[in-house]
A = this chain, B = another copy of it.
Amino acid sequence: MLVLLRPEAAPEHAQVVALLSSHGLAPRTIARDGRVALLADEAPGLVEALGHLPAVAEVRAGASWVLASRAWQPVATRIALGEGVVIGAGSPPAIIAGPCAIETEDQLLTVARGVAAAGARLLRAGAFKPRTSPYAFQGLGAAALPLLAMAREATGLRIVTEALDEAGVDQVAEVADVIQIGSRNMGNYPLLRRAGRAGRPILLKRGMAATIEELLLAAEYVLAEGNPNVILCERGIRGFDRATRNVLDLAAVPLLQQATHLPVIVDPSHATGRSELVPAMAKAGLAAGADGLLIEVHPDPDRALSDGAQSLSLEVFAHLMSELTTLSTALGR
């Protein structure tokens, strides 16, 4: 549970900690802009007992996202990744581009140089790939991580890559600027907790059938561990029409921005699964107000080891980038 304390009752805060300790709990303190809260497990009768303490403003025991809310933090979170790359309201849209999976050094460097030349500031590329079938290509794994470091060195692009399990979070954190938690793992709470202690910003993708509230609660798991830097990603929800891979739910963008201070980006590639629809949906994502885009780009989509059908070629990506720049200007971004 989360115990919100009255800032003006600072002297009595110790009473709250003492009560929690007497129940065998070890509370953790979270503070922001002068507001203070304690995080602790629940125990029978504890909520009521806390309610009697003068320092306690409120106790959140059930489903609630406090730290992610605009009520807790009215000012938009801006995530600075160095060399002027910032994700969040007030910055130009962050374009994150690259291949689904890292295949070879040559493939990765070709894409990295291409997307950097087109104006992207972040590279996305998977070393560890969650695949629906155990017999499908699962990514090069840890062996691909040095290639990401090499691409960063060669291009200055910031690196976004996915971790699939707790051990992977540590491995990935060594080379990545942002750690991605994929759709399939939005409800993997031990992994979210670990991500909350990773010391890196987290790009959290919405689960295939997750509500907006469930996405915010998943982010809350990360925030509650002390990591304030979470980027939410709308990437399509499962629908009844197989004409597209998923249904891109763009209304989630303004809806989330109303509810939370966290940056919200859009992934038109996984959403549609069809490269010819990606440019239109990328533009629609920006127009809906997204703080960034996550776009699959491959030097040779027809030969990609995974997700080729939804990857843009470097040429198409470069053309799209010029359209996005015009659009951003018109949108006043």
Contact = CB atoms under 8 A, between A and B. Distances in A.
Interface of A: 1-2, 39, 41-42, 60-66, 130-138, 164-166, 168, 183-185, 187-191, 208-209, 211-214, 217, 220-221, 224, 237-244, 247-251, 253-255, 258, 271-272, 276-277, 280-281, 283-289, 326-327, 329-331
Q: How many copies does the complex hold?
A: 4
B241 A239 contact: no
B237 A130 contact: no
A94 to B, nearest CB: 18
A171 to B, nearest CB: 13
Contacts of A64: 133, 135
Contact of A136 (B62, B131, B240): B62
A168 B2 CA distance: 25
A190 B165 contact: yes
Given A164-B190, A237-B241, A326-B330, 20 more contacts: A41-B138, A61-B136, A130-B187, A130-B189, A135-B220, A188-B191, A208-B208, A212-B243, A239-B239, A239-B247, A240-B240, A247-B249, A250-B280, A251-B272, A254-B276, A283-B331, A284-B285, A284-B287, A284-B288, A330-B330
A74 to B, nearest CB: 17
A286 B327 CA distance: 11
A246 to B, nearest CB: 9
B213 A243 contact: yes
A138 B1 CA distance: 10
B131 A189 contact: yes
A36 B166 CA distance: 34
Report, nearest first, the 4 A-B pairs whose CB atoms are least far apart. Answer: A330-B330, A184-B187, A209-B209, A287-B287
A137 B42 contact: yes
A23 to B, nearest CB: 14
Contacts of A214: 132
A136 B277 CA distance: 31
Nearest to A128: B190
Contacts of A190: 164-165, 168
Contacts of A217: 132-134
